[in-house]
Amino acid sequence: MAEHIAEPTLVSGTGGPAALLRAALPGLPLIGALPGIRKDRDATTGFALTRPPVTIERKHAERYAELCGFPVKDTVPLTYPHMLAQPLHLAILTDPRFPSAPMGMVHLENSISQHRRIAVGETLEVTVAVGSPLPHPVGTAWRLTSTLTADGQTVWESVSTYLRRGRRDPDAAWPSDLAEVPPSGPVFQLKADLGRRYAAVSGDYNPIHLTALSAKALGFPRQIAHGMWTKARCVAALENRLPDAVRVDVAFKKPVFLPGAVAFGSRRDERGYGFSLHKRGSDTLHLLGRTTAL
């Protein structure tokens, strides 16, 4: 039975650096205990947020397409609507009702179901809901479900899974049916400023993506690419082979350090395409995915 979640709360839908400041506050001594910032560590039920209807602007959609390797069209790339839901993801993770501090959480998986192509200029309603915490072998996970509708019809959905590492639970099951795919296609050269350029488009200014200095402060040797950019770049490599109605599942494995080079691989099967992203010249797997026609 699906989890019952109350009617979504309307929020502004803005993100950017201010949202990342809110994300950092719960982890600060004293400040993290203040009303409106303090996390409800015992929360076990989900909630939902929505934003005012948003119209897709051509200039923004084209900036995103060019950054991620998609051709510029009158319809948006399959992964683009995540940009419209991203501010609500940050708003949920920073909400006092969400039990975990967002800084340090890992984007573990993402699944997108596109029911039809979405045109530039369309106006969409966006809602994101978070469910109850889920046991994971190395901590606790939460799934954020994004739903985009046009004239009351669902046109695009996604499920993003975020992990907070913690106490290991060997009894927690976390199955995956994504098959291994070796690198076989093009190599993508990634510049050091990729994270900053993607942040400017997406509004996701997590410090781990911006500079070597800010990434080191959070335990990384240098900045890493956004997981959703890596998914978008893989989908762009398959874009002209995918149907209009399609589901794309990915699991994010090892981070992609910037600058760097990654090798894409794909393989067709009876369901669609399996695909992967590896570090060039290495067995290091960054991303594993699959497409399925709907």
**16 has pLDDT over 90:** no
- List, in sequence order, every residue forming a beta bridge with 224; answer none if it has no partner: 257
**265 has pLDDT over 60:** yes
Interval 260-272 mean pLDDT? 95
Cα 186–190–194 angle (5° rounding)?
135
What end-to-end distance do the CA atoms of the chain give, in Å?
Answer: 23
Burial of 1 (0-12, 13-18, 19+ CB in 10 A): exposed
What pLDDT is recorded for position 13? 72
Give yes or no: residues 84 and 197 share one domain. Answer: no
Give yes or no: residues 51 and 5 share one domain. Answer: yes
**229 has pLDDT over 50:** yes
What sign for the dihedral angle of Cα 111, 116, 122, 126? negative
Give yes or no: residues 149 and 250 share one domain. Answer: no
Give yes or no: residues 48 and 184 share one domain. Answer: no
Tens-digit pLDDT profile for residues 30-41: 444 544 555 566
Tens-digit pLDDT profile for residues 118-151: 999 999 999 999 999 999 999 999 999 999 999 9
Domain boundary pick from 113, 146, 175:
175
**61/9 Cα distance (integer angstroms):** 27
List the alpha helices (DSSP H) in 103-209. 194-202
What pLDDT is recorded for position 104? 81
What pLDDT is recorded for position 85? 96
- Percentage of residues in the chain having pLDDT higher than 90: 73
Give yes or no: residues 86 and 223 share one domain. Answer: no
Range of the domain at 202: 176-294
Exposure of 59 in the CB half-sphere (CA atoms within 13 A):
0
What pLDDT is recorded for position 38? 56
Give yes or no: residues 45 and 108 share one domain. Answer: yes
Look at 162 and 105; give whichever has higher pLDDT. 162
**246/19 Cα distance (integer angstroms):** 31
Give yes or no: residues 169 and 48 share one domain. Answer: yes
Tens-digit pLDDT profile for residues 74-118: 999 999 999 999 999 999 998 889 998 887 889 999 999 999 999
What pLDDT is recorded for position 41? 64
Tens-digit pLDDT profile for residues 173-186: 899 999 999 999 89
**101/97 Cα distance (integer angstroms):** 11
Give yes or no: residues 15 and 131 share one domain. Answer: yes
Give yes or no: residues 204 and 86 share one domain. Answer: no
Give yes or no: residues 151 and 9 share one domain. Answer: yes
Domain boundary pick from 143, 175, 207:
175
Tens-digit pLDDT profile for residues 44-53: 678 999 999 9
**278 has pLDDT over 80:** yes
What pLDDT is recorded for position 212? 96
Our count of domains for the chain comes to: 2
Domain boundary pick from 155, 175, 195:
175
Look at 54 and 205; give whichever has higher pLDDT. 54
pTM of the model: 0.90
Mean pLDDT taken over the chain: 90
Give the phi and the psi of residue 146 in degrees, each rounded to 5.
-105, 135
Give yes or no: residues 24 and 145 share one domain. Answer: yes
Give yes or no: residues 115 and 205 share one domain. Answer: no
**DSSP assignment of 35-76:** TTTS--TT--S-EEEE-S-EEPPHHHHHHHHHHHTPPP-SB-
Q: The CATH number of the domain where 184 resides is what? A: 3.10.129.10
